Amino acid sequence: MDFTSLGYFGLFVAAFLAGTPFPMNSEVVLSGLLLTGFPVVPCIVVATVGNWLGAIVNYFLGRLCTYEQMLRWTRANPERLDKIRTFLTGRGLWFALGSSLPIIGNIVIISYGILRAPFWRVTGIMFIGQLVRFIIWAAFTLGLWQVFE
């Protein structure tokens, strides 16, 4: 499907799907819209909100799993997991900035859901990380394109 031909709606859908475990590359759609003349700020906002909402789906997927189930499935050392849990739900909340990283981001956010990390703090930090990611990507796209003009 050509998401770029759908404009902002296509960007939103692509970014949302990219925020979930579904394999999608929203950066390509963002670049396509920017290079066809769509305004930068609305594109960044749409991509960020779509990706953020998709990542929230990951958080709630994690909430479907209990901590006890995770212990059983991973056969991890409970004491070690408790230390990780304490860290990630405290100062480690800043790892949510990495939610925009491919593959790793999904795992991080699902883990926060499993660990029942504070929803608004996690998602607020996620939003910041995704916003920065799309700003950098847009700058890269437009800057790189100007080299070829």
- Looking at residues 31-38, what average pLDDT do you find? 93
Q: Could you report the per-residue pLDDT of 43-67, keeping only the tens digit for each? A: 999 999 999 999 999 999 999 987 7
Q: How confident is the model at residue 84 (pLDDT cuts 50, 70, 90)?
A: confident
Query: How confident is the model at residue 43, as a pLDDT?
Result: 96
Quick one: residue 80, left, alpha or beta (phi over 0 = left, psi -120 to 50 = alpha)?
alpha
pLDDT value for 91: 72
pLDDT at 79: 81
6-25 residue pLDDT tens: 889 999 999 999 998 888 88
Taking a C-beta distance cutoff of 8 angstroms, is the pair 61, 110 a contact? yes
Which tokens hold the place of 137?
A: 């990507």
pLDDT tens track for 89-122: 777 777 777 777 777 788 888 888 988 888 998 9
Encode 107-120 in three state secondary structure. Answer: HHHHHHHHCCCCHH
Identify the pLDDT of residue 68: 77
d(CA 23, CA 10): 15
Residue 149: what pLDDT? 54
